A and B are shown apart, each in its own frame.
Chain A
Amino acid sequence: MNYTLLAEQFFNGFQLGIILFLVAAGLTLIFGIMDLVNLAHGTLYMFGAFFASTLVAVTDSLVLGMILALPVMLAAGLLLEFSILRTLYERNHLDQVLATFGLILFFNELFLIVWGPEGTGINLPPYLTGTITLPGGITVPEYRMVIIASGLLVALLLYVLVSKTRVGMLIRAGASNREMVGALGINIKLLFTLVFGLGAVLAGFAGMIITPITQADSGMGESILILAFVVIVIGGIGSIKGAFIAAILTGLIDTMGRSFIDVALLQIMDTVAAETAGPAISSMMIYILMAIILAIKPSGLFPPKGA
C-alpha cells in the first residue's frame, strides 16, 4: 500500500466533499424549509461558474471577480425566487419538479447561446498554480487547498449562522416544523426569500470555486445536482449537519472507489474482468451507499427532529 497516495486521495475526496456540501447545503435547506424540490439548484451552480468567469475576465482578478460574483448570485437567486419559484411553494412536488426542469432546459440553452458551445473558464493567477508539499511527501495543488479552506470557512460561517443567530433559529425551526414558524408570527415570505438567496449564493460559490479546475460549460449543473440529491438523501433532508457529513462521506467514497477499486478487484479476479468491472463499480458506489443507508434509515442519517 502506498500511503502517500492514500493520503492524497483522502485529501482529494475531502475536497470533492466540500464542493458537494456547498451545493447540498442550500438544496437541503430549501427542501427542508420551503418544501420545494428545486431541480434548478444545479443551474445556480452553473450561474456561479459563468458569472464568476466573466467577472474574473473583466476585472482580471480572481479574488475580485469572485467577490463581485457573490452579490450577482444573490441577485440572480432572488430574481428567480421572486419571479417563478415563489409561486411554486404552495404547489405540489410534481409541479415543482416540472417547472424547475423547464428552468434547466431554458438556462442551459440560454448559456449555450450566450457563451458558446465551448463554455468559459477561469485561469488561475500564478500565485495559485503551484503545488504544496506536505510532510510525508504528499503534494497537493495550492488551489485545491484554497478550495478546502474556503469551503470549510463557509461551512463554519453557515454553522454559526444556523446555530447561533436568530435567523438561524428560525431556519432550524422551519426545517423541522414548517407550521410552527408561521405560528410564531414570522414573516414567512421574507424568511423563504432569504433562505433561497442563501442557497443560491452557496451553490454559486461552489460553481465558481470549482471552475478554475473543471472549467464551465452549459449543462454542468446536472451531474452535480444528482450527486447533491444523493448527499441530502443520505444526510437527511433539512439537516445541514447531515448534508456536511454525507457530502464528505460521498466525496471520500467516490474518490477512494475510483482510486483503489481496480487494485482491490485484482485480488479476486483476473485483469480483464477487473478492468471491465472496476469503472462500472466505482461509478455505482455512492448509489449503493445510498441504497444501503436508506434501507436502514429511510429518512437519512440525520433527519431533522419532528420530520
Chain B
Amino acid sequence: MLKKLILAAPLAAMLAVPSVEAAEKIKVGIVLTLTTPASIMGKQMKAAYEVAYDHLGGKMGGKELELIFEDDGLKPNIGKQKTEKLVKKDKVDFLTGYIWSHVLGASAPVALKAGKIFVSANAGHSLYAGKKCHKNFFNAAWENSQNSMAMGTMLNQRGVKNLYILSLNYAAGKQMVAGVERTFKGNVVGKDLVPTSHKDWSAEIAKVKAAKPDGVFVFYPGSWGLAFFTQYKQAGLDKTTPLYSVFSVDGANLPVYQKRKMKHMIGTFNTMFWAPDLDNAVNKRFVADFAKKYKGQIPSHYAAQAYDSLMLIAAGVKAAGGDAKNTDAVRKGMEEADFGSVRGKIKFGKNHFPIQNFYARQVINKNGQWQLSVRQTVVEDHAPVMSNECKL
C-alpha cells in the first residue's frame, strides 16, 4: 500500500499540472537561476522579463503571450531537464534566459534539436559565437571576452602601463583574461586565477602589492566581488592602485556594496555595453518601470539583456505576422531586429550575437543611490573575435 502511495504521489502531483493547451498562445520558456546565492541576478532578470511583458501589453504579434519561468539551480543537468520539460511538456515556442554557460551548453542542444529558437539572455558561450553558431541560436547579451577586450582598450586609453590581472579559475574567468590580454598594450606584471572555492585573497593581494602595478584588472562576480573588494581595501590597495573590473560591479550587486558601506567602490571604472543612464527613450522607460517593479532598484545589465531578449523575440513574431511556428520568418525578423532596444539601436552579426558599443562606466553616488554612469564610448560596433569562424 505504501509502495503505491510512494509511486502514485509524485506521478499525481506532476499530472496535476494542467497540460490542456489554450489555443494560439505564444509561449516563451525562461530558464534562470532562481535559487542559490546566484539568484541575485536571476531575480532581477525575471523582473525585467515581466517589465518587457507589460511593455508588450501581454501580447506578441497580436496573440496572447505566456511566460513560463523555470529554475536551473545552477546545475547543467537540471537546466537541461527543465528545458526538456519546457519543450516537450509545455510546448513552448521560444527558449530564453540562461545565465550560465554550462547550463546553456547542456540545454541549448535540446532546444535547437527540437527546432526551437533559443535566445541566450546572458551566457556568452564563445563556441556559439564561432564554431558552434546555429541558425536558431541568438544571443542578446555578449560573447564572454568582448567586455574584457573593451576593458583592455579602455586601459590603453587611460594610460595604464603595468597591469595585474586577477580572475577566477574557470572557463569564463579565463576568457575574461584572454580578452583583456588581447587588447591591452602595456605589461602584464602578474596574473592569478584562484579556484572558485577561495574567498581569501591574502596571497594574491600580497603579490599585487609586491608587483606595484598601476592598475588591477579583476573579474570577481557575485559574492567573490564582495569579498575581494573588501580585502582590497583592508590591504590599503584602494588608495594606491585603481581597480578596473568586468562583470564584478553591476546593478545587481551595487545595492549590496552600498549596504555594506564599501565606499571605496565609488569612482571605480568598469566597462559594459549598456548603462542605466544611456540616453534613449526606451531605456528611460525601462529603467523607470523596472524600479517600480523591483524594490526601487536600478536595473543591472542582466535585466537589460533579459528585456532585450523578449523584445527581440517579439520583433521576430511580429515580422512573422504572429505565426510563431513559422520559424524562418521569425528568424528573419529577429535578424533584422527592428525594435526599441535599451541600447538604442541593436544589430546582429551573422552569428546572431549583437554588434555593439562598449562604454566606460563609473560608480557614482547620485541622490544617495549608488549607480553606474556612462563616461565615454570605448569601442564602437564591436563584434566577437570568433565571428568569422561561424559558417552561417
Task: Please determine if A and B sit in direct contact within the complex, based on CB atoms under 8 angstroms apart.
Answer: yes
In angstroms, Cα B201 to Cα A16, docked, is 10
B227 touches A219 (CB 8 A): no
A4 touches B200 (CB 8 A): no
Which stretch (A118-126, A174-182, A296-304) binds chain B? A118-126
B210 touches A4 (CB 8 A): yes
Cross-chain contact of B195 among A5, A15, A214, A279 (Cβ < 8 A): A279
- A215 neighbours in B (Cβ, 8 Å): 199, 223, 226-227, 230, 260
- A220 neighbours in B (Cβ, 8 Å): 199
- B198 neighbours in A (Cβ, 8 Å): 223
Most chain A beta-carbon neighbours within 10 Å: one of B194, B200, B210: B200
- A241 neighbours in B (Cβ, 8 Å): none
Majority secondary structure of chain A interface residues (helix, strand, loop or mixed)? helix
Which stretch (A136-144, A164-172, A186-194) binds chain B? A136-144
Known: A118-B253, A217-B37. A141 touches B235 (CB 8 A): yes
In angstroms, Cα B205 to Cα A258, docked, is 11
Number of interchain pairs (Cβ within 8 Å): 112
B234 touches A124 (CB 8 A): yes
Cross-chain contact of B236 among A139, A262, A275 (Cβ < 8 A): A139
Residues 1 to 55 of chain A near chain B (Cβ within 8 Å) = 2, 4-5, 8-9, 12-13, 15-16
* Nearest opposing residue in chain A for B210, CB measure: A5
In angstroms, Cα B200 to Cα A9, docked, is 13
Known: A130-B236, A217-B223, A279-B194. A117 touches B210 (CB 8 A): no
- Taking the closest CB of chain A, its distance from the CB of B251, in whole angstroms, is 13
* Nearest opposing residue in chain B for A116, CB measure: B40
- B227 neighbours in A (Cβ, 8 Å): 213-215
Q: How many residues of B contact A (CB 8 A)?
A: 37
Most chain A beta-carbon neighbours within 10 Å: one of B35, B191, B206, B260: B206
- B40 neighbours in A (Cβ, 8 Å): 116-118
- Taking the closest CB of chain A, its distance from the CB of B98, in whole angstroms, is 18
Cross-chain contact of B202 among A12, A118, A123 (Cβ < 8 A): A12
Known: A131-B236, A212-B230. A117 touches B36 (CB 8 A): yes
B235 touches A258 (CB 8 A): no
Residues 241 to 280 of chain A near chain B (Cβ within 8 Å) = 255, 258-259, 262, 275, 279-280
A sample of 28 inter-chain contacts (CB < 8 A) reads: A5-B206, A5-B210, A12-B203, A15-B202, A118-B226, A118-B253, A121-B226, A121-B260, A123-B260, A129-B233, A131-B235, A131-B236, A139-B235, A212-B234, A213-B200, A213-B227, A214-B200, A214-B230, A214-B231, A215-B223, A217-B37, A218-B37, A255-B203, A258-B192, A259-B203, A262-B191, A279-B192, A283-B197
Which B residues form the contact surface with A (CB < 8 A)? 35-40, 43, 169, 191-195, 197-200, 202-204, 206-207, 209-210, 223, 226-227, 230-231, 233-236, 253, 256, 260-261
Q: A5-B210, A119-B226, A131-B234 given. 4 additional CB < 8 A pairs?
A: A12-B202, A16-B200, A118-B253, A279-B195
Counting from the closest, the 6 A-B pairs by CB-CB distance are A12-B202, A214-B199, A223-B197, A8-B206, A117-B40, A118-B256
